[in-house]
Structures are given as structure tokens and as C-alpha cells.
Chain A
């Protein structure tokens, strides 16, 4: 799972290495056991599929965020960008902003789900590309550029939607959010397919190697002949693409694009990536880790809800786990170094 070598020079480090690679997964398994003991219905397939549906939106963005964080970057704009792309998808799906509140799915003169999907991902990728260019050309740190993006995209969303939601899509589009293939929710399948693809790209392609290299040591990457700026721009394009894809799925699921959608998502997404073991300093991490991180947050939220823990307490728990996960990772690393 982790790219850092699994070799051990001394005996006894094996367990440490194992924990470093599978720590989040073991923790996830432990959580599932605990929640099942507390309430057996937690393990019910219906609930588990429910969880997969819940995590698929932030999970999709977290996949893109993994690329960004692997280069030691960050993207705070994803929540706002999701809302913006969702609104764009809605406008395309409904053929304009004229009958925004009509819940009727018939008689709309929209351009269909495919055009809506295409618009969402193209706009997302383009927005990411613009931010990437600002980071590499203007030399403004990613934190600042995407913090700006966070308000800009929210403002754009409110402007085109006039502050309200755009609702009512036809059944073919809604299927992407609410449909099932067998017992499996379509969003979960989209997430799984995307995760698989990202894993392949990062693990087995030339591009993936370059992403790790740029994040591991940008100067060494440049002196090794990598076009560092292009790679940096590309990861923001990727996260933007996934924000667009997630926006489409979310709008389809809710049958509505909300101007206030995705507020605070950036934090959940970054948490998932970091809990999954990807280093904020770049160069270390994996898609598998991110999937586990996203699942961990999903299981935690669902399990706590299942046991009637208030959403207020939930955010306290998730925050603490984020900190503990990183502290644990640090501790393991210090053991290896010693």
C-alpha cells in the first residue's frame, strides 16, 4: 500500500512496518466490529451499501485530492467547486435557468444527462487548471490560490443560481445518484471504478511516478528532467475533474443542485486523504489509503448516527481521530528511523 519500502533492516520492525501500511485498515476493521457489537443491524448489507453511497461523493473528490497532496499541495476550493459544477450541470440538464424550481421532469428542454455530466467535469477540470496555473506561474502558494478559489466558486455558484437551488432532473440523470445495479448503489460503483483507475495511474504509469517524484523532492525532480510545473497543473486539473464528477452524482442523487452544496467538504476530503496515510509534505501515500480513509470517516459517521450520537459529537470524534491518526503515523515513523 505504501510506496516507502517494506524492507526491514532489523528484526522487530516488521510489526511497525505492517502497522504503517495497514494501520488505517485495521482501525477500520476494528470500528466495524465495535459498531456491530453495539448494534447488530449495523452490519446489515442495506446499511453497508448505504455507507458506500454516503462516502462516494467526498470519496471521489478525495481521489483527486490524493494526487494534489502527493505533490505537497492542497486544494481548499473543492467544496465550492462542487457546488459550482453542480449548478452548471443543472443549468445544462434543464436547458437554462428559466424553470429552476419546477420539479417536473417532463417537458424540460434540457440537453440530457450526458451533456450535464460533460459540462460538470469540463468546468471542474478547467477551474482546477486555472488554479494550477496561478500556483505555478504566479508562484502563489496552493493554500492561498485555492482559498481564493473557495470564495470565488461559491460566489459564481450563487450568481448563476441566484442563490436558490435548481431542481428536477429527468430519470436518466437521477439514476446516477439513486440507481442500483444489483444491490450496489450506482454512486458506489462510480467511486469504485474511479478509485481503481486512480490506483492504476499512480501505481503503474509513468505519470504516477512523476507525481511521486515531484512531491518527494521538486528540485530533484526538475534536475531529473521532469516538467514539474506541468505535473503540478495536472493534479489540480484532476482534482477539479473529480469535483465535477462528484457534483454530477450529488445533484443526481438529490434531484437538485444546491447553491450551498459542499460547504466544508474540503475538510472531510483532506481528512480522508490524511487519515489514509498520505503525507501532507508530499511523496508518500496511496489511493488505497485514501479509500480506507474515506471509508473510515463514512463508517464512523454512520455508526455514530446509528447509535444516536448527535452530529455535533460526530464532528468532535472525527476531528480527534484525524489528529490521532497523524500522531500515530508519526510515532511509527520515528520508531523506524531510530
Chain B
């Protein structure tokens, strides 16, 4: 079915590509190749370097060193447009279609067919579009606005557009993460059809089974380096092999587990049967489907799950940021129903959100207002005037305690490194002395050295009796700091285990595999 035989010429060859970002090496000496009519899986954990490689291939940025050839010629695209022109199209998770335009307009954007009078020929555009989308198995009216399509359909339109541009390599970045099971199957069968048409596909995914089912070969990255290539030899590539390559033999020393701490205290936060509603404006967003979770004083509960597993939604629901459809939350034995983050904060809950830039920091403001924004009441007097002396003293204390490196508290926070920004955000919550602190991807965009510091801070906080819930898709991190770990997939809890008993293989299985997904909760249901 595939043409991985060495005889067919290599379409894209990446040789020894390295990429540095201001001192940090994101990608180091990575090589791979792909042939026409082949589906190559690109796998690796978060931070393994997949997105950096993708950005280089799609023309967003050049490599620091290394060599890339495409179709026998040197390949250095100057922009994503240039990459497209050369025949490599990348389809990102955030789709690039213009929602207000029709399918046909999107396909022919910038190259609409022109009629005899020099005007756009709508009829030809419609007819051609119909033929183009038929290639990916879509039978919708090409004059439908894109906003009316599902995410899956939009993806297919993007693929169709790529094909109509005579693309020879289509890179798909996590194409299945927002799709339902049937939509995934449809996408996979279309990928198979494209393979027969001699299109090369690079399939970047977290979903191991899907990768195993469709890929001819896989390239696995780990910590910015090549972890190895896997080949389909007769049958699909076995999952344990992939997992082994992804996680490596031993977790990196950076995540050395701190000594086991004293046993956690009483249950502080308890969640039962939590469900969220489908937002009509985001029909494909993840909804929570009956989540039960307990959080004890002085423990760090690790929540492991892939993007789209519902972990962030769980945090937001507890924090009052999203609407809850059903279920109960109790804090210190009292039922609570936070209708807004302000309510949750008043009750003693803090959240360090996953997207620091958009959800946590006030980029242009100084460090001082960034620090005190959640405690304006504490740092002001009865007349509403800021008690700036007290505010500065408090910040100075946290600056020392968390070793926040800054030139001055007047400095705009955007001038700090990611790690120091995150410490300011942690200080924002610590100033409130919360009972429960939820941290969502606490070390995303934080450089390696500072990651360890953030982990140590979380351990310290737990030691002070705060109930810490840490959401992360980086398994070594979850393993390093959690006292207890739960895994999530598709809006459900799929497993729970003490931190010492967990390892990456176990967690990865619970997070990524469909078998468990159905078995886990069902078994639980029967047990009741």
C-alpha cells in the first residue's frame, strides 16, 4: 500500500537541523526524510521540538544551522507564502480559513478565476471548488460560509485547498485533537487516499493509536533531539515501542523527584459529577463529562492529560471562569458555586492559567501592579487608596522567597523572562494565602533552569498546607512533583495513582489510549 521502498526518491530531506533561541537550544541536530506517497509520523512530548521543526519547514523561521532539500533542490523558504509556493503546506490546529468567506472563496483566495470582462467568474469558482473538495470526500455546497462548517469540515477544506495548490507535502499539526471519533476515521481514510495519489504527509500528533494506524514511518523527537526513527515492518508500529522512544529510558535529572513528603491532610476541595455545557459558539470545545476529584491540604495533585482532555476546563470550572451544568464542588465541607473568578478567589482559590501572555500578565504594566492585582483590597486602605508601602514590602518578600530576578518593581513585566513572569504570577496568588492553588502548565514557556525552581516553589507551597492542583502535559514534570496523579481524557478522569507508583508509560497509556478511555469509566460505573 505504501511506497517506502528506497527506490522512490526522497522528497524532503532534513539534515542536522539545529535551532537556537536566545541561548536556548530548541532543536539540536535533527534529521529526517519523507518520500512521495508516504505518511511520516512526527511524535514527541510537549517541548520535544516538534513545533520548532514545523515552523522551520513551513517558512516561519530559518534554522540556525543544518541543511534542508526539497525535491532535490535547496529549500530555504523566506515566508509561509514562499513555502506554499514551493509545494509545502502546513495545516495548523488553529485553522487559517477566513470564516466570513465561502468555501469557494477560501479555496481561491488570491487567485480567483477571472471571466472575459476581467471580473471574478463566480460560476467557474463554484464548479472548480466543488471538484476540489470532492477530492477530500466533502459534498457540501462550495458557497457555504466557512463559519457554518464543523472543525473537521474546515480541516478538509484546508487540505483541499492545499491539494489545489499542487502541494506535494502536507504537514498536519495535531489535526485530530478537535475531532470526534468518526471524524478522525474519515480524516485517516482521506490521508490514505492522498497517499495513493503520491502526496507526502507529515502527521504531527499526540495520539499514538492514530499514528500507529496510519503512518508508514515515524520520527520521534525528545528534548529537541532525534530520539529515533521507527519503521512499519509488515504491521503497524507497536505502541510500546513508540512510548519508549518518546519518554526515553530515564526521566531527565532535571526532574529529580524531591524526597517524599509528609502525608497530606484533610480533603479541602471536593468535586463530584462535574459537567459543563457545550457552548453553542464553540461546539467542538471539550466538555467535562462527570468529573470526580478530591484535593487534600498539603498535597500536590498532578492532573495529566493531553491538549483537549478537559484538564484546563476542569480548572476553569472550579475557578468559576466557565459555567457548570451539573455536579457539586465543596470547599472545606461547604458546598460552593462560584459564578465568577472573583467569587472563587474570595473563597480562597487561586488559578495560574495556562496561557500566561493572554490570561495572566498585564504586559505593559509594571511588576508591582501585576503582583497586586488580585489583592487590591488587601493593599488598600478604607478609602480605596493603595497602601503602596505595604504593597512594595510584600512584593519584596516574595521577590526574595521566590528569587524573582528583576531590575526594579517599576519595570514592565514583559521585560522579564518567562520563568520570572511566572514567579510574579505565583506571588500574585501567594499574597492572598489561598487554600487551593490550581496551576495550569506552570512551566510552559519557562526555561529549563527556572522549571526546577517553579517545581520547588510548588513543593514549598504544599508544605505550607496549600492544596495544589498541577495540570501539565509534561509527564516528567507531573512525576517529579505530584504526590498523587490523576489522568484525564475526553472530559473524564481515566485513572488515579500515587506519585511514587506512576511512571511515564502508565500515564501515557491512561492519557492517550482509547481502550482505557471506555474501559476505565465503565468499570467504575459497574462497580457502583
Contact surface of A with B, Cβ cutoff 8 Å: 3-7, 9, 204-210, 212-213, 216-217, 219-227, 279, 283-284
- For the complex formed, measure the closest distance between the CB of B445 and the CB atoms of chain A, giving whole angstroms: 15
Chain B interface, DSSP helix/strand/loop, else mixed: mixed
Q: A4-B412, A7-B415, A205-B380 are in contact. Are A224 and B365 (CB under 8 A)?
A: no
Query: Are B346 and A220 in contact, CB atoms less than 8 angstroms apart?
Result: no
Query: Are B373 and A221 in contact, CB atoms less than 8 angstroms apart?
Result: yes
Which 10 A-B pairs have CB atoms at the shortest separation, nearest pair first? Answer: A216-B362, A225-B345, A5-B411, A206-B380, A7-B411, A225-B342, A5-B412, A224-B374, A206-B376, A224-B373
A220 to chain B: which residues have CB within 8 Å? 353, 358-362, 373
A5 to chain B: which residues have CB within 8 Å? 366-367, 408, 410-412, 415
- For the complex formed, measure the closest distance between the CB of A155 and the CB atoms of chain B, giving whole angstroms: 33
A223 to chain B: which residues have CB within 8 Å? 319, 321, 341, 351, 353, 359-360
Q: A219-B358, A284-B364 are in contact. Are A225 and B346 (CB under 8 A)?
A: yes
- In the complex, number of A-B residue pairs with CB atoms less than 8 Å apart: 105
- For the complex formed, measure the closest distance between the CB of A129 and the CB atoms of chain B, giving whole angstroms: 20
Q: A4-B366, A219-B358 are in contact. Are A209 and B373 (CB under 8 A)?
A: yes
- Distance, CA A69 to CA B428, complexed state (A): 26
- For the complex formed, measure the closest distance between the CB of A107 and the CB atoms of chain B, giving whole angstroms: 45
Query: Are B342 and A4 in contact, CB atoms less than 8 angstroms apart?
Result: no
Query: Are B321 and A222 in contact, CB atoms less than 8 angstroms apart?
Result: yes
Give the residue name and chain of the A residue nearest to B356 (CB).
Answer: A220
Can you identify 14 A-B contacts, CB atoms within 8 angstroms? A5-B367, A5-B410, A5-B412, A5-B415, A7-B407, A204-B386, A208-B386, A209-B369, A209-B372, A217-B358, A220-B358, A223-B353, A225-B344, A225-B345
- Distance, CA A226 to CA B342, complexed state (A): 6
B91 within 8 A of A: no
Q: Which listed residue (B346, B367, B407, B410) contacts A9, Cβ 8 A?
A: B407
Q: Which listed residue (B365, B384, B385) contacts A212, Cβ 8 A?
A: B365
B498 within 8 A of A: no
B360 to chain A: which residues have CB within 8 Å? 220, 223
Q: A206-B385, A220-B359, A222-B321 are in contact. Are A6 and B369 (CB under 8 A)?
A: no
Taken residue by residue from 112 to 124, chain B's Cβ proximity to chain A (1 for < 8 Å, 0 otherwise) reads as 0000000000000
- For the complex formed, measure the closest distance between the CB of A228 and the CB atoms of chain B, giving whole angstroms: 9
B265 within 8 A of A: no
Q: Which listed residue (B365, B372, B407) contacts A283, Cβ 8 A?
A: B365
Give the residue name and chain of the B residue nearest to A203 (CB).
Answer: B386
Give the residue name and chain of the A residue nearest to B377 (CB).
Answer: A206
From A204, A217, A226, name the one whose CB has the most chain B CB atoms within 10 angstroms. Answer: A217
A284 to chain B: which residues have CB within 8 Å? 364
B450 within 8 A of A: no
- Which residues of B271-292 are within 8 A (CB) of A? none
Q: A205-B380, A209-B386, A283-B364 are in contact. Are A225 and B369 (CB under 8 A)?
A: no
Category for how many chain B residues contact A? 35 or more
Give the residue name and chain of the B residue nearest to A217 (CB).
Answer: B362
Give the residue name and chain of the B residue nearest to A210 (CB).
Answer: B376
- Which residues of B337-392 are within 8 A (CB) of A? 340-342, 344-346, 351, 353, 358-367, 369, 372-374, 376-377, 379-380, 384-386, 388
Give the residue name and chain of the B residue nearest to A213 (CB).
Answer: B373
Query: Are B364 and A204 in contact, CB atoms less than 8 angstroms apart?
Result: no
B340 to chain A: which residues have CB within 8 Å? 222, 227
Give the residue name and chain of the A residue nearest to B374 (CB).
Answer: A224
B369 to chain A: which residues have CB within 8 Å? 3, 209, 212-213
- For the complex formed, measure the closest distance between the CB of A233 and the CB atoms of chain B, giving whole angstroms: 15
- For the complex formed, measure the closest distance between the CB of B355 and the CB atoms of chain A, giving whole angstroms: 9
- For the complex formed, measure the closest distance between the CB of A210 and the CB atoms of chain B, giving whole angstroms: 7
Query: Are B364 and A216 in contact, CB atoms less than 8 angstroms apart?
Result: yes
B321 to chain A: which residues have CB within 8 Å? 222-223
Give the residue name and chain of the B residue nearest to A227 (CB).
Answer: B342
A216 to chain B: which residues have CB within 8 Å? 362-365
- Distance, CA A206 to CA B376, complexed state (A): 6
B358 to chain A: which residues have CB within 8 Å? 217, 219-220
A210 to chain B: which residues have CB within 8 Å? 373, 376
- Distance, CA A5 to CA B361, complexed state (A): 15
Give the residue name and chain of the A residue nearest to B358 (CB).
Answer: A219
- Distance, CA A323 to CA B408, complexed state (A): 33
Query: Are B386 and A219 in contact, CB atoms less than 8 angstroms apart?
Result: no
- Distance, CA A4 to CA B384, complexed state (A): 22
Q: A7-B410, A205-B386 are in contact. Are A283 and B380 (CB under 8 A)?
A: no
From B340, B345, B428, name the one whose CB has the most chain A CB atoms within 10 angstroms. Answer: B340
A217 to chain B: which residues have CB within 8 Å? 358-359, 361-363
Query: Are B386 and A225 in contact, CB atoms less than 8 angstroms apart?
Result: no
A209 to chain B: which residues have CB within 8 Å? 369, 372-373, 376, 386
- Distance, CA A297 to CA B344, complexed state (A): 47
Given A7-B415, A9-B407, A222-B341; 11 other pairs, CB 8 A cutoff: A4-B365, A5-B411, A6-B410, A204-B388, A209-B376, A216-B362, A222-B321, A224-B428, A226-B342, A283-B362, A283-B364
- For the complex formed, measure the closest distance between the CB of B513 and the CB atoms of chain A, giving whole angstroms: 33
- Distance, CA A270 to CA B252, complexed state (A): 56
Give the residue name and chain of the B residue nearest to A214 (CB).
Answer: B362
Q: Which listed residue (A204, A212, A225) contacts B341, Cβ 8 A?
A: A225
Query: Are A226 and B373 in contact, CB atoms less than 8 angstroms apart?
Result: yes
Give the residue name and chain of the A residue nearest to B383 (CB).
Answer: A205
- Distance, CA A7 to CA B360, complexed state (A): 22
Give the residue name and chain of the A residue nearest to B410 (CB).
Answer: A5
- Distance, CA A208 to CA B385, complexed state (A): 9
- For the complex formed, measure the closest distance between the CB of A231 and the CB atoms of chain B, giving whole angstroms: 11
Q: Which listed residue (B342, B345, B365) contacts A213, Cβ 8 A?
A: B365
- For the complex formed, measure the closest distance between the CB of B463 and the CB atoms of chain A, giving whole angstroms: 25
Query: Are B362 and A212 in contact, CB atoms less than 8 angstroms apart?
Result: yes
A7 to chain B: which residues have CB within 8 Å? 407-408, 410-412, 415
A227 to chain B: which residues have CB within 8 Å? 340, 342
- Distance, CA A222 to CA B321, complexed state (A): 8
Give the residue name and chain of the B residue nearest to A283 (CB).
Answer: B364
- Distance, CA A222 to CA B316, complexed state (A): 12
